[in-house]
Structure 1
Amino acid sequence: MTDVNPTVRPDPGRPDRRAELAVGLARVRARIADACAAVGRDRTEVTMIAVTKTYPASDVLALASLGVVDMGENRDQEAAGKAAEVAAAGATPRWHFIGQLQRNKCRSVVRYADVVQSVDSVRLARALDAAALANRDRPVDVFVQVSVDADPARGGALPGSADPDAGLDPVAEAVAGATGLRLAGLMAVAPLGWEPERAFARLAEVARAFRTAHPEAVALSAGMSGDLEIAIEYGATHVRVGSALLGMRSRLR
């Protein structure tokens, strides 16, 4: 990864923190490389997203100085200010918004996020498109969030559903047809109570059918700190890593 400003430096008051992050990063990169090798995939096929929610901007700057390009946040209230602070320090990571997105937050999110991984309705796709057209000079990459267990209460577009707002096909068509958006692929979170193998096998099945209609949308975001190897086995191109990289969070907000 080379598109990080090499002049960026982490918080000079926490050199020990940068060293901690370097160790975590090396371990995660090794895990990804080993997982790819185990299933005959090229390491360059998998992008690691550092999930920096609840961590300070100084950690983002330290990761950027270590060569990390992709950062993930899930709450606009936290992410907008952090992204501004990071930009003011001279870093230009690729921000992924990975949390549940409310339509009234689209205008704020598109001002810093290049990727939104949680579009799960036609109404949200339309709101995000309008915000992107009004506030950006290039499209937002979109992952349609899939409901692996087809439970509408959990969020995610529903594979095989005829629902005109929440069905996977209508949502994907809304994104693909939007001027301010680019359909990148699919994202999913393993449902509570499901073994990762079951969840990612189901996601891979959905992705195969999805690519028949959208052959350009090959990205697949799945897997986190505890199950990234299994996600890679089932075709993940993006893994979202928090605690394995940054350590356990002292508090959640």
Structure 2
Amino acid sequence: MTGTREEELSANVKAARERIQAACVAAGRPEGSVTLIGITKTFPISDVRALAALGVRDLGENREQELKVKAPDCQDVTWHFVGQLQSNKARSVVRNASVVHSVDRSSLVTALSRAAVDEGRVLRCLLQVSLAEYGREEVATGMSRGGVAPADVPALAAEVAAADGLELGGVMAVAPLGSDPDEAFAGLEAVASRLRSEHPGADWISAGMSGDLEAAIRRGATHVRLGRALLGTRTPLG
């Protein structure tokens, strides 16, 4: 990696941390209450190593194929899987990630539990919540970014909490296309509050990306997932 790329990433990490801190101040939240997850999808392992060296200790991938290549090469960080997950890829993800943000159905709970037990691991699971009702384009087209309906969260949460090898960690969501992020994340905050009333330890809210992290933090996000803000929009390598 050239010095120029290292300098670029260093500046990006600094700017992202400053945005997070400013959002925390504006929301009346304490410093350090929001964790930055660097999303490295499609970018090379050299960028992964550079982010880790810059103190980004939580890294995420949304494709199992990339996770299983990058995670073994950079083991001194916490790996998060944030993409849609097929049940037949559960074992690979369990081997390489500590947290899965996209649990959205019973069959996936079963697959993750079986793999976690077999691998002797405890996997932290976040329920991906659909916020499609807040997105004009989703409502108009019937398309969605995925997730379990808010009304179905309690039942799926109970399944995760009861499953061997799994730990219920909280919720995750993506603001829908055409939505007001503040409104959408307020809906997620309400779901998260109800979940904590039944499962006090499930206190993570994974929400907010490069374009809407301020709204997410205002609505209680504990983890933000940043890709473009850290790695830029250059043509990815590999």
Identity across the alignment (%): 51
Instruction: State yes or no: 1:158 paired with 2:149.
Output: yes
SS in structure 1 at match of 2:79: strand
Contact 1:132 1:140 in 2 (8 A): yes
Aligned equivalent of 1:70: 58
Deviation at 1:210, TM superposition (A): 1.6
Q: How does 1:95-134 map to 2 (within 5 A)?
A: 95-134=79-118
Deviation at 1:86, TM superposition (A): 2.7
Separation (CA, whole Å) in 2 of partners of 1:36 and 1:183: 25
SS in structure 2 at match of 1:96: strand
Deviation at 1:24, TM superposition (A): 0.2
Separation (CA, whole Å) in 2 of partners of 1:126 and 1:248: 37
Deviation at 1:28, TM superposition (A): 0.3
Separation (CA, whole Å) in 2 of partners of 1:27 and 1:178: 40
Separation (CA, whole Å) in 1 of partners of 2:69 and 2:130: 30
Separation (CA, whole Å) in 2 of partners of 1:114 and 1:205: 26
Deviation at 1:222, TM superposition (A): 0.3
SS in structure 1 at match of 2:10: helix
Q: Which runs of 5+ in 1 are unaligned?
A: 1-12, 161-166
Identify, as 1 or 2, the structure richer in helix: 2
SS in structure 1 at match of 2:157: helix
Q: Which runs of 5+ in 2 are unaligned?
A: none
2:101 partner letter: Q
Q: Which runs of 4+ in 1 moved over 4 A?
A: 150-153
Deviation at 1:39, TM superposition (A): 1.3
Separation (CA, whole Å) in 1 of partners of 2:57 and 2:97: 13
Deviation at 1:179, TM superposition (A): 1.7
Q: How does 1:1-253 map to 2 (within 5 A)?
A: 13-87=1-75, 92-135=76-119, 137-149=120-132, 154=144, 155-160=146-151, 167-250=152-235
Q: Deviations over 1:30-81 (max 9, x none)?
A: 0001110111101211000000001111111011111110001000112211
Q: Deviations over 1:106-148 (max 9, x none)?
A: 010111100000000111111101011112x331111100011
Contact 1:116 1:143 in 2 (8 A): yes
Deviation at 1:251, TM superposition (A): 5.2
TM-score in terms of structure 2 length? 0.92
Deviation at 1:249, TM superposition (A): 4.5
Deviates more, 1:205-214 or 1:147-156: 147-156
Deviation at 1:15, TM superposition (A): 2.2
Separation (CA, whole Å) in 1 of partners of 2:114 and 2:237: 32
The change in CA–CA distance for 1:148 and 1:112 in structure 2 (over 3 A counts) is same
1:144 partner letter: L
SS in structure 2 at match of 1:157: coil
